[in-house]
Amino acid sequence: MQESFFGERGIYYRISEVRADRSTLLLIHGLSGSSAVWLPYEKTFESSHNVLSLDLRGHGKSKQWSKYHEYDLHFFAEDVRALLRHVGIEEYMLVAHSFGTLVALELLKDKGGAQRALLMSPNYAVHRMLRSRLTHWPLAFVTAIFSRLPSIHWRGDHIDYSVLGYTSDWDYRRLYLDIRNTGVRTYLHCLQHVYSFADDEDWKRITVPTTIIHGAFDSFVPVAHGMELAGVIPNAKFQMLNDANHMLVLNNKEEVFEQIRAFTISGSIG
């Protein structure tokens, strides 16, 4: 994997050797994380696939932005589209986790070059959750204040997730490291966009074969939301990991490896 920085959009990314005879995996991480979560996946799949992973805007080693509107989901998607053009990738299979599934939705609404989608712990209908309804207005007030303050960070770094071992959804070690690295401003801006996203009908616009993977013990987004989403997206299949929580990308690597292998071969799971 080669590390690079796409200056036009302020995006850090890693890419394997790109060969025309191999399919491409595009990996999109979740809120306050970075492409560092995909390192084991890159090692596993770079010998058989073209692999592209990136740090979303405001995350990892990518540029951090100051204003709330600069974290609108369409900007994340525009970054990814521009990066794909930059590296010369036209068709890809999309693998996204958590907040990254909302970015994936923006990419998939008009399909573009996506051939298939694998959505893990999708952020579907989060606005309906009690936690979102209770915190929406206080969070909106705080993000408005942050948008008026000068930025003191340009970009962060990568966290070595391998030292954490198993991590619960609310593991204070991971949360502290992630939020400190991403910055409170970026974290809250993105979280408010998650809590505010209510365009549930947009998911019906996904036309590519889609697989949804959800942990049975996900306490961020209940597994029932993932099951419901599988009925909303045309041509979607659902797979529950019985021993997984929201952080299945970190905790259940072998199971996710197998799901990705099945996904890339046939577009189906199980």
What pLDDT digit, counting tens, does each position of 46-89 carry? 999 999 999 999 999 999 999 999 999 999 999 999 999 999 99
Reported as a pLDDT band with limits 50, 70 and 90, residue 154 is confident
Closest CA relative to residue 98, chosen from 38, 16, 163: 38
Does residue 111 carry a pLDDT above 80? no
- pLDDT over 70, % of the chain: 97
Task: Give the gyration radius of the chain's Cα atoms.
Answer: 17
Q: Please work out, in degrees rounded to the nearest 5, the angle formed at the alpha carbon of residue 226 by the alpha carbons of 239 and 72.
A: 125
Domain housing 193: 2-266
User: What CATH number is given to the structural domain containing 26?
Assistant: 3.40.50.1820
Domain total of the chain: 1
Reported as a pLDDT band with limits 50, 70 and 90, residue 33 is very high
Q: Which residue has the tokens 């007030």?
A: 141
In this prediction, residues 28-35 reach a mean pLDDT of: 97
Does residue 267 carry a pLDDT above 90? no
Does residue 268 carry a pLDDT above 60? no
14: left (phi > 0), else alpha (psi -120 to 50), else beta? beta
Does residue 4 carry a pLDDT above 60? yes
Does residue 269 carry a pLDDT above 50? no
Distance, in Å, from the CA atom of 52 to the CA atom of 220, rounded to the nearest integer, reads 27
In this prediction, residues 248-256 reach a mean pLDDT of: 97
pLDDT in tens, 40-51: 999 999 999 999
E-strand ranges in 29-104 read 50-54, 92-97
- pTM > 0.85: yes
Helix (H, G, I), strand (E, B) or coil at 118: strand
Distance, in Å, from the CA atom of 246 to the CA atom of 248, rounded to the nearest integer, reads 6
Does residue 161 carry a pLDDT above 80? yes
Does residue 149 carry a pLDDT above 90? no
User: Given 3-state DSSP classes, what are the helix, strand and coil percentages for the chain, each rounded to the nearest 5?
Assistant: 45, 15, 40
Q: Please work out, in degrees rounded to the nearest 5, the angle formed at the alpha carbon of residue 183 by the alpha carbons of 35 and 253.
A: 30
The tokens of 103 are what?
Answer: 């970015």
